[in-house]
Structure 1
Amino acid sequence: VGRAPEGFSRTDSIAGIMGMTFIKAMECSRAMDEAMLCRGFAGAYPAPARAGFGWRDAVYAAGVALLAVLCAVL
């Protein structure tokens, strides 16, 4: 709002903010990686034993479909 002082560059300001955001994100990711290693993270997520479509999935899908129909009618 208002006039910018002489020599002020909005591009330089945005570049500085984005640079600091990048540096902060790198620091946070490094700290997160170190914390995960300290807690025993092996670097891979175990896959679930069963990946098929079961009766619980069918009940859930039927419930979602019922709610969608009720929302469309009401």
Structure 2
Amino acid sequence: MIAAREPEALTSAAQFVLRHVDAVFQQLDERNVPLKLQFDAVDSLGFHPPFDEACAKLRQVLTSMRAKQVQPD
């Protein structure tokens, strides 16, 4: 939900996030059902996008962060 509301907040954690982005994508693919159940159980205050929408936004933000990452020479 942070990726949708405040994607810039992830930039402060970019080094950590980018180091683990493949694992995040793998978890989204392999553990979709239990993650959806956990996501749906979150009690939020007025902002609760559908799980699939939140996952798509997270993938979009992380893919964009990865693309902007400076590759070492």
TM-score for the superposition, normalised by structure 1: 0.31
Greater relative CO (CA pairs within 8 A, separation 6+): 2
